[in-house]
A and B are shown apart, each in its own frame.
Chain A
Amino acid sequence: MGGRNMKLRIKFIKKGAVRFIGHLDVMRYFQKALRRAEIDVTYTAGFSPHQIMSFAAPLGVGIESNGEYMDIGVDSLPEAADNMTSCELLVRRLNAVGVRGLEAVEARVLPEDAGNAMASVAAAAYTVRFREGQERDIPQEAVDAFLSRERIPVTKETKRGVREIDLRPGIYEFTWQDGAFRMLLDASSAGNIKPSQVLEAFFAGRGQVLPENALRVVREDIYTVRSAPDRGSSSNQGNASDRECASDRESAPGAGAGRFIPLGEIGGVL
């Protein structure tokens, strides 16, 4: 069913032992998984055909995630059956040949004009906890003081030397609650910042240096900028998101996030 060259967005998680698999190997993993699942993926031509596939944002080794995304091209979808949609069947088939911890959550058909996953990334939400034995308490005043700073300059080592950047504009949300930091950070290609950078600056402001690997980071979801009024323009592909964005989701930060929408809420289910 469906025409040729449909674009699908697949949301997946990365949890447990597989968190140590590097980004390129996750790509290789899904290339093989799609073959095992015999999904009708679109291939390029030539002697070494490869799958049309792109990932939203690389995830650092050792970090778990509840919301990763890859876009793939398919020539057709599995026939809907047993009260399951084609997209649900595709997810089920993919997970049947997969490993625990790298599991597809949902697949959606993207509208034709949707930007590719990587280019549209604007923000990412993280939960950060202290590892066992490293726990400590954070006073609310410290969080407030951190957020009230106008500039949070940090130095960043790049291939071309050391450069100063200001983290503050890229911190959209930053809270401490129930033993965890939750944050929504700029993840765009121009301004991407990492939760570890933010927390280093946070603790540095309190005169503290965290031991190496003291934190356990989970990426909760990846967001794009909500396109203003015409959310329904892609309705021919199914129902575009009518759920509210981050603010109504337990894992994502609340206020201030209204201008973002999870990558997984674009497109519709066939």
Chain B
Amino acid sequence: MSERLALSDDILLKISKPERYIGNEVNAVTKDKNAVRVRFCMCFPDVYEIGMSHLGLQILYGMFNAMEDVWCERVFSPWTDLDALMRERKIPLFALESQDPVREFDFLGITIQYEMCYTNILQVLDLSGIPLEASRRGEDCPIVVGGGPCTYNPEPLADFFDLFYIGEGETQYRALIELYEECREQGLDRLEYLRRAAALPGIYVPRFYETAYNGDGTIKSFSPLEENIPPVVRKEIVRDMTDSYYPVRPVVPFIKVTQDRAVLEIQRGCIRGCRFCQAGQIYRPVRERDAETLKGYAKELLRNTGQEEISLSSLSSSDYSRLPELIDFLIEECGRRHTNISLPSLRIDAFSLDVMSKVQDVKKSSLTFAPEAGSQRLRNVINKGLTEEDILRGAAMAFAGGWNRVKLYFMLGLPTETEEDIRGIAELADRIAAVFYETVPKEKRTNGRVQIVASTSFFVPKPFTPFQWAAQCTGEEFLDKAYQTRNAISEQLNQRSIRYNWHEADASVMEGVLARGDRRLGRVIRSVYERGGFYDAWSEYYDNDRWLEAMAECGLSPDFYTHREREREEILPWDFIDCGVSREFLWREWEKARREETSENCRLKCQGCGAASFGCGICTAPRA
């Protein structure tokens, strides 16, 4: 490991958590930089503790470093204290392993997990000394690659990236790297490399495309500028999860990170089809990893990391077909190793309660339900297949088993929402409390009463969901809904047992602007950054006025992007991406939503979404 540190002792002793910047962690990979052909710097544009909690980063880091000719290192957003010192003393941003400047790398790969990190991407480029605009980068700059869920609408970031990798990283990076080595050997320039990369599956090179706008600001056309550039970019997907690379030797941070545990990814994708959920659509079809393989990974992970806890990762883990068997195995294996099991949020039923009582202290843990909407009508609109009976039955069982804390998650501002739906949130919380007092006799109530915490977030329509055409609420509408919820809760009989939390509204509106934004927003993001804005995902650093000023300066209105229901014919900025799920299917679901009709999940009945074209996962499995 490198003993040379990029930062002086003087700086490291001045800033918070110097451990974020010194590398040298267990399982971090060091190679001889002269013995590799390609140096890849993997970036999560947020603070170290968030970035190091991300499984995707560990997957790609491990996968790249398994390639003999590649050395992959990591970089994160320096925290604001170090950021200021680096600017003041003109210290270039460096990768953790070699402590070498990011500017010297062949690639800078940035995973883009949420919209509010966009300004941090500019921070990372700026501190690295890489021109913010891709078009201004010279031959000696790293190729800046974007990946992750936000690249399903990469347009607001189009100016800043040389290329986007659309879809799952396991499949095309090898080709991208070999093409790079080839171009370098032939002495071809950056532009020619990008031109050839654009022909690879899943690769989108924004500079080879052009957008024209109508007078009302909607998109008139989006088309390639050159003949050999594909008009549609289809997402990349791992067809067999069991054969794909898995990081059984992940980097173990010295400091406590947000998700401080070993992680076992049991499946990718989701059968449910909740209409607000982007992940449920873009990761289709659901593909399970073989249970025997997972057991082996679990053992290796625990041996290689020494972590005190292991968790399962997937969407809707309860749907994993061999979950009971896998959990039984983990309970035994973890018991032997004095290791905890952190359960994902499982559907509350007899099985999950039994498991939870085995691995957690019932008195200290809480039940989690995510009804997402307060009334059955609205749950039908969003296709959330969880009924009030399910919730009350699960709660009654849990209360009988000793639990007395419940967490409820809802969204406010869903399409078609009425005051009655909002009141439904309060009434559902109240009914759960009533079930507690009916189920648990007075002398057995540990703290005298049940603790119910209801939380609401504000609904942000996302690309590639049936709600991609829907109008989003304004900030005022959001807040009004939160007050309605609070007032409704205070009118309930059991209101003293219910606590209510809601999120901030302004940042949710701006998230909505970026989520469904177009290329013109690049100037806004740049302007916010130049006004000193970054770490916008952190409420203490988010400044709404800065965003509004920047939008006004660029002649753009937030309402255009958020508060407007789109027509079926409108060209959406992300229409050129093929994520497998067809536009026709999404429109059909949007219509069904407005008719309050539900759709069955993939396991019960194929809805013809289009993902079967990948020929894998549940689409090719025999149905129950």
Contacts and interface: CB of A to CB of B under 8 A. Distances in A.
Given A25-B19, A99-B26, A101-B24, A33 B306 contact: yes
Contacts, number: 87
A174 interface: no
Interface in B209-257: 252, 254-256
Contacts of A31: 306, 308
A36 B305 contact: yes
Interface string B191-204: 00000000000000
Given A18-B24, A21-B19, A61 B305 contact: no
B254 A29 contact: yes
A186 to B, nearest CB: 24
Interface string A20-51: 11100100110111111010000100111101
B25 interface: yes
B304 A17 contact: no
Nearest to B7: A20
**Chain A CB within 10 Å, residue with most, of B2, B255, B302, B361:** B255
Interface stretch (B9-17, B171-179, B315-323, B397-405): B9-17
A131 interface: yes
B337 A36 contact: no
A248 to B, nearest CB: 31
B23 A17 contact: yes
Nearest to A41: B338
Nearest to B25: A99
A213 B24 contact: no
Q: Count chain A CB atoms within 10 A of each CB in B305, B338, B359, B361 and give the residue with the most.
A: B338
Contacts of B307: 32, 35
Interface string A208-231: 000011001000000000000000
B19 A20 contact: yes
Interface string B1-35: 11101000110110000110011111000000000
A259 interface: no
Interface residues of A, number: 33
Contacts of B337: 35
Contacts of B135: none
Nearest to A22: B19
B80 interface: no
B487 interface: no
B345 interface: no
A48 B261 CA distance: 14
Interface string B358-370: 0111001000000
Interface of A: 16-18, 20-22, 25, 28-29, 31-36, 38, 43, 46-49, 51, 61-62, 97-101, 131, 212-213, 216
16 contacts: A17-B5, A17-B22, A18-B254, A20-B18, A22-B19, A22-B255, A25-B255, A31-B306, A32-B26, A34-B306, A36-B303, A38-B303, A47-B360, A47-B364, A99-B25, A100-B3
Interface of B: 1-3, 5, 9-10, 12-13, 18-19, 22-26, 252, 254-256, 302-308, 337-340, 359-361, 364
Nearest 9 CB-CB pairings of A with B: A32-B306, A35-B306, A36-B306, A20-B18, A47-B361, A49-B338, A17-B22, A43-B338, A25-B254
Given A25-B256, A99-B26, 7 more contacts: A25-B255, A32-B308, A35-B308, A46-B361, A47-B359, A97-B306, A213-B10
